[in-house]
Amino acid sequence: MYIIGLDVGTTGTKAVVADEGGNIISGGYREYPLHSDGVRVTQNAHDWWDAAVYAVREATRSLDAGKVAGISLSTQAASMLCADGDGNPLGEVITWMDSRASREAERLSHEIGAENIYRTSGWLPNPVLDAAKILWIRENEPRLFASAEKFISTLEYMNMKLCGRCVIDPTNAAMRQMYDIGKKEWNGEILDFLGINEDRLPEVLPIGAEIGNLTDSAAEQLGLSKKVKVFNGAHDQYCAAVGCGAVCEGDMLLATGTTWVVLGVTKAPLYTDSHISPGIHPVSGLYGALASIVSAGSALNWYKKIIDRDFKEIDSMAQSRRDSARDLFVMPYVCGAGFPHMRPDMRGVMLGLDAGHDRYDIARALMEGVAFEAAGVLDGFAERGMSIKKLMRTGGAARSELWSSIVGYVTGCDIYRMREKETCCVGAAMTAAVGLGLFSDYGQCRETMVHSERLRLDDASSYEFYREKRSRYDTLVGGIKSILQ
């Protein structure tokens, strides 16, 4: 028996196949384009499905595809399209990177109340999220607004293609900012303000709910049996958390992509003055708490292009620069300062540069700056009673032993790196495996399907070194923020 985990991401779709013992045995991937015009960033929903077909066929081409029994999804969130009643797109996908609805987000903040929306959905009003985008369509494209039978995002579009049901999960629904995570229902006040009703939104079912079998068309295109069961998926970061084994209270994921995401597991929704985003975890009775560092992987990517060196060389050469970069500080806000600062107007700063420094000293200080920012995020969780001892680390930066060790020394946490890099796919596959009854719950599934290694942090002097340097870094950031006020 095989299970498929499918991750429909921002720039491509990945598929992995696991056997009934939980071993990942094959995979497939296909990219698709983004279309950008200033603040507008769009996609074609048909590309999601075409890429899924390719990825699944690639992942199963050397296997007996008739043995596939279940499939579940990990998806990007808040990429929205208008559709007819059958899920056919009526226009382009307005992706989560599209900020055309800035004015509408401000209206939501003023007229519904930013804090009200946060306490309802777990997310502050934001132009890249769906409530503001629906309002933008109503005000700017009234014909499209009137003709749309459904306003859907990635998960429900794919569920309709797979099994014909327009179903979303609570994690994706919350990021649409119309779903009440406490009452577990669409919020009437927000829907009335947007001028829509529940009939124009998907059905919300728990993560892992069995929602049907593949349709005849989907089975034929994917090369699978019509008996394959489809299980409701989740937002990609929640799938990554499951795929890293963050399925118990106190577990913590650090996902290191372009943006670094911290996701902790809690027993109750975690609302804070700094607006950590709570959400419903795939494990029944648990919640997630999510915060993002927007200038993280993006900062090193930016610097890599400037110095025209690859990551492997940067990692190797920066390894020995701890002491030479002792008094060099880089605040990495090339895309603004995310949580906990919430200052999109802040930009990067370099302090302490002298003629003795070179490109690799700067790279080291930049890595340290991002690590200091991650520690600040963890402080926000600790202030709410979460004692964090272990970080489950995934993503591109997790493959850097240097950067991972810096994070360990700065935060004082044990660092566990995942052996399987496609953790979103693994999390989706775990959802299908539990749904099929191959494992009794996610805890048992974790013991079989999640494989990690603990990073050795043997340099005792580095803990004190980074405690002192982080103290100076925080003082400098505080001074810069006071100047900008």
pLDDT tens digits along 235-254: 999 999 999 999 998 899 99
Provide the domain limits for residue 66. Answer: 2-237
- Section 177-193 average pLDDT: 96
Q: Both 164 and 295 in a single domain?
A: no
Give yes or no for a cis peptide into 282 (omega within 30° of 0).
Answer: no
Q: For the chain, what percent of residues have pLDDT higher than 90?
A: 84
461 lies in the same domain as 395: yes
Report the mean per-residue pLDDT for the chain: 94
377 and 261 in one domain?
yes
Same domain (yes/no): 78, 147 = yes
Residues 332 and 415 in one domain: yes
Check whether residue 223 and residue 313 sit in a common domain.
Answer: no
Q: What are phi and psi of 281, to 5 degrees?
A: -75, 150
Query: How many CA atoms lie within 13 Å of 416's alpha carbon, on the beta-carbon side?
Result: 18
Strands ordered across the beta sheet of 414-418: 277-280, 287-293, 260-266, 252-256, 390-395, 414-418, 452-454
pLDDT digits (tens, 9 = 90+) for 337-349: 887 887 777 889 9
Return all residues near 303 (Cβ < 8 A) that are at least 6 apart.
Answer: 362, 363, 366
Which ranges constitute the DSSP H helices of 108-233?
114-121, 130-140, 142-147, 154-163, 170-175, 188-194, 216-222
Q: Which pLDDT score is estimated for 386?
A: 79
Single residue among 208, 237, 266 that ends a domain in this structure: 237
Residues comprising the chain, all counted: 485
**CA gap 263, 183 in Å, rounded:** 22
Question: How many domains does the structure of the chain reveal?
Answer: 2
At 72, the amino acid letter reads S
219 and 260, same domain (yes or no): no
Q: How confident is the model at residue 485 (pLDDT cuts 50, 70, 90)?
A: low
- The CATH number linked to 183 is 3.30.420.40
Which position has the token pair 């892992």?
A: 208
Confidence of residue 164 (pLDDT cuts 50, 70, 90): very high
Same-domain check for residues 387 and 450: yes
Q: Give the three-state DSSP class for 293.
A: strand
Domain boundary among 174, 206, 237: 237
pLDDT at 404 exceeding the cut of 90: yes
Do 38 and 62 share a domain, yes or no?
yes
Query: At residue 387, does pLDDT exceed 80?
Result: no
**Which of 189, 212, 237 corresponds to the end of one domain?**
237
Instruction: Read off the tokens for 96.
Output: 């989560």
134: Cβ–Cβ under 8 A, 6 or more apart, which residues? 80, 145, 151, 194, 196
> Which stretches of 112-181 are assigned E, i.e. beta strand?
150-153, 167-168, 179-180
Average pLDDT over residues 277-293: 93
pLDDT at 330 > cutoff 90: yes
Shared domain for 331 and 352, answered yes or no, is: yes
Structure tokens at 213: 């079998």
pLDDT at 122 over 80: yes
The per-residue pLDDT for range 85-114, each reduced to its tens digit, is 999 999 999 999 899 999 999 999 999 999
Alpha-carbon separation of residue 422 from 7, 26, 248, 261 (angstroms): 9, 11, 21, 16
